[in-house]
Structure 1
């Protein structure tokens, strides 16, 4: 029992997934590592720049604190305007009183100096860096710089955009490469699947695949074509054994019944007539018993050839069994048509036949059945023709 076919991913899409995984995944991992390194480097550079600025301010703000020169201190802090990440900067005196301040427009001081020790603090996307201003061992004050990571976020977005474009381009390239590979690889496989499906569904083996490849796929196609050749030959042999007489190669009774059934349907539809001739060789048993079966078989072959010789194009002859033959005559117009053919048969078979140096004389008795007068189905016509043949034998040899 065939199980219900499940939905499944086709080979092309599996191959696409594999190609994407092989090409995109390493790129994605590498991009992630580069992105992480970029963020770390950018933060380190930002902190290094802030540390340099605060160190420079610490060195230059000593004199302003010593001489209480707030104007100079404010001017020093204003130089941080060029440092675009700076939110604000403050200088406190030794008593932690605000001495000088710079704020970028729209920015607020959100971290009291009391909460800052000399060092680094990161809160969310804001960096706070403070440094004590000293003279020898004496503390003169404290410098505080607050910077945001807005520029870092912008760089993140740019970097992510670059990564996204690169990944998308890689995906498109992988798809195009896979499509090209499919034309070369999966297309013949799809044709093979289609061919196998056709053979399984229709049980016909005449189709073949064109094979111009010299790789493993070509070997597979060649193997399938060779297999179909073998199956077709075997099927033909089985068909011939089932439908043709092994000795004379004439249609056997099975094929005769198929043809007779078809002819009856056609004749009934066209309101035409057909005739069935049942032939039984006279004196064949005597020849077969006296000269042997080999001579008898050769004689049957000669008789079959003579019967085929007198056939019309539309007629057919078959071996019913032993020394009996049946002829199917189609499109009969009158009794005279049948008489002409029967006379030809009797005349031809009455001629001497030379078999292995023996001059043999045989004749035939012929029984005739007509459709629709003597029957409207195969069995009725065969029965009537058989009975007619025995009536002919009662009259003597070579009668009908």
Structure 2
């Protein structure tokens, strides 16, 4: 168990008013968690301090070789007045898997979750009370060794910051448009596609800009070898309901193992739906659309939870999913997952963790 020292701010910031727009990741709470690592000493000096700038040497590893990983989860005000998290142990596990891939020392799962709980507990008054609002939690680990040679860092910082947020997409649960990328690739098997690290997302920026310029919210990536198998969307895993079956790309080493993805698979199976995790070719989706059996498409992720997809664009062709509206399963999944997170729906899986 961590011995966390707490240094409360003497100048609390004004919290957003109820009618202030909470654009994702633009406002931050009063405090942050920091813990240091030194080779030979391990993780130490766990502390919560006022939110503010951090000082790093210009030669720090993170700036030059990108040795860093991050996570994303949320805190909610439950129906019973209890502040709660959703499957934070899964974030801790995934962070350690990402760290292994980038040669970053692991953090014990219980310490990882404890750090998040203590910080959220201190800044819980920042959790918005409006519907579809929450407190976004961003834990990250960066290499800070002031050395320009390509090697693993001897020094790291584990930092957690908090941000009150509204809906990830301004349109809320309205179906979004997806651009299918056929020029660039994001990741390949054996690379870092399954690690939650900055390099993964840097590779997607150019395509994201192109998609936004064309009026589309996200990019759907194809595999980097055959350029025909669907992988994931920029900020989400992707699901298709084809002729009654729920189909999603299998985890193959280049796809992020999403926590909401895992939750959705569990729920769909419980509801008696046939779920297939396998390779999904874009031609299969196009054929299903042409036959009229592409019934629903949705993305899953921490930020948006469930995001229905209303249309795809590949090249000059636009494929509208059914009537372009929200599908029955998409809506049910959104209501169930958010209901569990907020304590409105019974948690049969032990996914909700109270912040005591």
The structure that is strand-richer by fraction is 2
> Which structure would you say has the larger RCO, counting Cα contacts within 8 Å and 6 or more residues apart?
2
Larger Rg over CA atoms: 1
The structure that is helix-richer by fraction is 1
Structure 1 length as normaliser, TM-score? 0.19
